[in-house]
Structure 1
Amino acid sequence: MQTSDPTFPLFPILSFLGFALSVIPLPWHFQAWNSGTCAFMLWVGCFCLILFIDSLIWADNAINSIPVWCDITSQIIAGAGVGIPASTLCISRRLYRLTSTRTVSITRDDDVAIAVGLPILVLLLHMIVQGHRFDIIEEYGCSPTTYNTLPAYFLYYMWPVLIGLVSFVYSSLTLRTFYIRRLQFTQIVSANSTISPSRYLRLMLLALIDIMCTIPVGIYIIFIGLDGVPLAPWISWNDTHFDFNRVVLIPSAVWRSNTSNYTAVQINRWLPIVCAFIFFALFGFAEEAMKNYRRAFW
């Protein structure tokens, strides 16, 4: 196999590792039903698995060989762009509630509505500005498409930034409350049987890292869409979805020759893998993880 990707076969290996590292801690988190954390692992794990498969199928071509696969995975990729920051929002809300000892209850249904329901809602809104079926990008694989018109920025592109800003507010309030009540921190967190002080701090660090990535990346994606690219007027549903079934095939020589496109593709390729490795670094070597490794070994 001859490919223009200098990271091949490193990228498929790392993307598969990202998938594995995301799902290894899932059983004991799922058993404790930490909904925000479970949703984060599932979104990141699914994204990494898709990247792994696509990087092998389209390593050296941009042929529409598996259209049904692309129909499904392009929507999962679009949903993950909202689902990952939405999962972080669930984590940030829960941490704020624990630190502030608020009496307002955050139920699992609330978290599921945010981490799963919100991405589904955004996908439904995205259909309004989805100009054609999907793109196939050599080396990357299937990719969702968005018609570059003004409503697209309000219906789709703004959501990661908006969710990241809300998470940032929660995390800022949590840090403020943590500073005020730092002497009572261990007693406050220990009063909750589902979370330990060390795990609280790891979740807080995960939320902060994700927010620091989500907001700048979301703003940069919006900047790319507006920088030097003509903004098409919104005319009608029929105009936006004209010849909807077409598939745009993009060779690597094309997207690599444009700096903005190159950066956007590489961000979409590597960011989920980085999320997976950061998550495992924070939780894969924790005390509860080691206990589960020993239990599984014996």
Structure 2
Amino acid sequence: MIKLIAIDLDDTLIAPDGHLPEENVTALAQAQEAGVQVVIATARGYAGTKRFHDQLGLTTPLIVSSGSNVIEGRSGEVLRRRFLPLPFAREVVAFAQAHQIALRVYVGNEVWNNLDYDPSNGRQRTVEKQVEQMAEALVEAPFQIFVKGNRESELILAQFGEAGEGYCCRHHVYSDGISELNILHPKSTKHDALAGLCAALDVPQEQVMALGDSKNDLGMIAWAGFGVAMSWASEAVRAAADWVVPADAQRLTSDPDAEVAEAVLRHVLHVAKDKKSS
């Protein structure tokens, strides 16, 4: 019996075209009514996740920033945070400055930018706090450094690699075809955060369902008692899952992008097609 659902946000709860299927919202509400806890696990930060937490009526903590932060969903209190080594963070910042690579650096509750534009949306986004001499100004260890851009990611990966002692560069290419890097503590993973949260909530591993579509979901999908991959997930994620949402099977849902609802209805609420139709 599933007691907790851990769900990725982008391209999972939210459809690949950016809309939030109403059937996903309804199915998760029904699951909560049945006593199942729902936890969002996302690469987004707290600010970009809070509205979904509220829209779903959740009371559980949030796993955000790819697992580097576990946040109390209603108050924003930090329950757990994993930091990058400060000397390494300074090295990354200095390298980026020398090569005109725009960064988002997460320091405490602030986002610092080294240039006058933000990498998440290029020159269209005004920065909140530009710190021009960031390598010198950085005296507190950050928990995440974000890079976006094919040239930028290639340079960072060539210099620092995809993994190392005390840090980890995670490389993703999303539907826009543009490379993104999240530089994090190696235990800043959705899997690690979810395992710790389930232990705190006294939910056994075998009673956890995890749903996702991309590489940073793979660990929690493989760890969970029942891992679910979206039909559009990468081959590696599909291989790690216990169940892949079928792209062409007879659906319980009317929205083809409501694959979260499909999984919840079938495997948590156990709704059969004939019951749905009646």
> Normalization by structure 2: what TM-score?
0.30
For CA contacts below 8 A with separation 6 or more, give which structure has more relative contact order. Answer: 1
Instruction: Answer 1 or 2: which has greater strand percent.
Output: 2
Return the index of the structure with the highest Cα Rg. Answer: 1
> Normalization by structure 1: what TM-score?
0.28
Instruction: Answer 1 or 2: which has greater helix percent.
Output: 1
